A and B are shown apart, each in its own frame.
Chain A
Amino acid sequence: MKTIGKSVIATETVTELRALFEDGLEAQTFLNDLIKIYLETGRESVQSLSRTLDAGDLPAVGRHAHKLKGLSRNIGAQRVGDLCADLEVEVMDQGSNARDLYEALVSEFQQACDELNQTYLRVS
């Protein structure tokens, strides 16, 4: 379920990434690059999660969740990262809740992508 009006990207993470540069334009270019990587690679990871869940390959689900967790935390998509962490743990057990976690993750990921596109990505 979408949470309307609530930010899903941690602004402090974005601020820290921007703070690596003195020049605002360089900072935005850098941020744009990371966002584009997240949008592309994150989407690939979500697709891989779906595929491996359908196949019942729990170790592979864990690996893809781990990867998406790292990507998400880099860019401030904390809730996506947390759901990935939960999914990693879930598939190390029997994985009975894996599908529900995946569905929640997909929703959060989409919200994160929307916010990154609308609020943080600046294409000149």
Chain B
Amino acid sequence: MTAVGRPKSYCISLDDDPMIYRIIQEIIKLPTLPYTSGKKLLERASSYQPLVAFVDIHLGEDESGLGCLPELRQLWPHTPIIVMTTDGESSLIGESLSLGANDFVRKPLQAAEVRARVQARIFELQKRQDADCSRFADVVLDASRRSLEGPLGKRFLSESEWTLLSCLLATNGIVVGKQDLKGKVWGDVKVSDNAVDRKLSTVRSALKVVSKKVRLTTSYGQGVRVEEKAS
């Protein structure tokens, strides 16, 4: 399904059992995209943001659902990932939780249990997302993904760029000198002025791409700040 044709809320199921996604779909009443191969799902996972995902521990011949968990967790930080397991796999439950799963359900799936766990995990991760997200003017900042999203678009920053922007936002529009920035972002690590300028340039560009209102401005001889432009 392409991004254009994709429903707003949907689930993804990773299981080589062709019945499972149909059953999940009817239990949680969400369109459910089926994948039988972890490899294929990982190839496309970055284009998805499912409301919830179900992953079977055992897939086909050479695959394990567990192997997909770390990458899925990274790509979908706010998506509850629920592992499906059968009897005798209790030892793998702990491993799946440590690899990034949020919960587990035993097969055969029990409708009431699946619904309860899905609702609880969605609520929990929604709260976490709200805590990770903040707003400056018309730009939403997501710390878990290091992303900026505004009316014009979305951009991702590297770790140092994110830290740099966070420092500037924390000062509430007060100018921050370059030396101060170096200390806050890089600590004792020596960085050149050019390196700092390159990072500032990237952040400046990213803000321009996502918003007309938020700008990183330079006060000559003093430093930089993030400000909301008057409309």
Contact = CB atoms under 8 A, between A and B. Distances in A.
Contacts of B58: 63, 66
Interface string A15-44: 011011100000000100110011001000
B20 A74 contact: yes
A46 interface: no
Interface residues of A, number: 25
Given A20-B26, A63-B61, A38 B111 contact: no
A71 B26 contact: no
B87 A75 contact: no
Contacts of B87: 85
A95 interface: no
A30 B86 contact: no
Contacts of B86: 66, 69-70, 73
A88 B107 CA distance: 16
Question: Which residue, of B26, B58, B88, B109, has the highest number of chain A Cβ atoms within 10 A?
Answer: B26
A33 B108 contact: no
A71 B19 contact: yes
Given A73-B108, A74-B107, A74-B108, A67 B16 contact: yes
Contacts of A19: 111
Contacts of B22: 30, 33-34, 37
B88 A85 contact: yes
Interface in B129-161: none
A37 B19 contact: yes
A71 B86 CA distance: 12
Interface residues of B, number: 20
B19 A34 contact: yes
A74 B17 contact: yes
Contacts of A30: 22, 26
B27 A74 contact: no
Nearest to A20: B26
Nearest to B60: A63
A81 to B, nearest CB: 8
Interface in B33-61: 58, 60-61
Contact of B19 (A20, A75, A85, A88): A75
Contacts of A38: 19
A117 interface: no
A73 B107 contact: yes
Contacts of A50: none
Contacts of A67: 16-17
Contacts of B19: 34, 37-38, 71, 74-75
Nearest to A16: B111
B91 to A, nearest CB: 14
Interface in A58-103: 60, 63, 66-67, 69-71, 73-75, 85, 88-89
Question: Which residue, of A41, A60, A74, has the highest number of chain B Cβ atoms within 10 A?
Answer: A74
A49 B166 CA distance: 58
Given A20-B111, A63-B61, 4 more contacts: A34-B22, A63-B58, A66-B58, A69-B86
Interface of A: 13, 16-17, 19-21, 30, 33-34, 37-38, 41, 60, 63, 66-67, 69-71, 73-75, 85, 88-89
8 contacts: A16-B110, A17-B23, A20-B27, A21-B26, A41-B18, A66-B58, A69-B86, A71-B19
